[in-house]
Amino acid sequence: MLAGNVSSTTSADLVAAGTFQNPGAFTLTGAPWRVWANTWVGETRGGLAGSGPLPNYYSCAYLGLCAVSVSPTDNHFIYAQRPTATVVIGDATRQTGTDNPPFVFSVSGLILGDSNSAFSGAVASAADRNSPAGVYTIDGVNFVSPAGYAFSVTPGRLTVTQAPIVPIIDEPRRPDEPVVPPRRTDFSGLPKPDVLREEPTTYVYDRNLGQAPICLATGALDGDRADQGGDVLAREWSRVRSRPNLLNCVNTDRRNGCADF
């Protein structure tokens, strides 16, 4: 219990075994001061308040275990007990193929007028723009408290929906829009393929050039003429069809002889 005004020129540490009590509203002036207590529950500050971005520290005992780094340049209330702040992450929705929207969260459970300076951290999701449709978790990332708070994080949900398929519709050409001719591929500069063609084999107009004659061929040719009578077309066709070997035929200058072939 604080029973009078306190002023110091260097620093002052007031240590309470249980709770700090200042029912008389006495003051602490001069150099920076620190009030140490086990808990804030049931204390009476009597108008005193810490200063700086972190006026209150938690999870730190006088000459004992301390989870924070206490600034020596401001006035502070320091407690051995540790409060818990609750982080609630909001839900979000987006379509496939798009980036995640900004995630929002709220923090509740801060005590004794503490501000957002008492904690730091961010929220994120494992889903990215390439993730398929589905439901993903939005969780807290590296939530810490330089003031000594503990955190309870309630994750959010990211719902990724399938983006609609937009059909491509050709718009009609405007009257003032120039007509673009279709693009043609010019093959004139390319080398022409070397096509190997097989010459057709026909024996209709063959020339019968061969080796030196061995024997005369008069009887067989005359026989064909006798058998076929006056049918010239049948006689000529039989010659083409049967393809007699005339390599050994000798030209006798007779009708229907070797010279006719």
For 75-95, write each residue's pLDDT tens digit: 999 999 999 999 999 999 999
**Whole-angstrom distance, CA of residue 166 vs CA of residue 260:** 81
Which one-letter DSSP state was computed for residue 44? Answer: B
Q: Are residue 1 and residue 70 in the same domain, yes or no?
A: yes
Give the residue numbers spanning the domain of 254: 201-261
Measure Cα distances from 112 to 43, 79, 150, 187 in Å: 11, 12, 15, 84
- For 174-194, the pLDDT digits (tens) are 777 777 776 776 666 666 666
**Span 14-19, mean pLDDT?**
93
Measure Cα distances from 138 to 85, 107, 191 in Å: 18, 15, 62
Q: Are residue 206 and residue 141 in the same domain, yes or no?
A: no
**Whole-angstrom distance, CA of residue 146 vs CA of residue 155:** 22
**Span 150-160, mean pLDDT?**
93
In a domain, 174, yes or no: no
Q: Are 107 and 153 in contact (CB under 8 A)?
A: no
* Model pLDDT, residue 209: 53
Of 109, 138, 161, the residue that ends a domain is 161
* Model pLDDT, residue 218: 45
**Span 36-51, mean pLDDT?**
95
**Full-model pTM:** 0.58
* Tokens encoding 131: 């993730």
How many independent structural domains does the chain possess?
3
* Model pLDDT, residue 217: 46
Q: Is the pLDDT of residue 1 over 80?
A: yes
* Tokens encoding 126: 């494992």
Phi, psi of 188 (to 5 degrees): -65, -30
* Model pLDDT, residue 68: 94
Q: Is the pLDDT of residue 159 over 70?
A: yes
- For 199-251, the pLDDT digits (tens) are 666 655 555 555 555 544 444 445 444 455 567 766 666 665 555 555 556 66
Pairwise pLDDT comparison (103 vs 237), residue with the higher score: 103
In a domain, 182, yes or no: no
Q: Are residue 4 and residue 72 in the same domain, yes or no?
A: yes
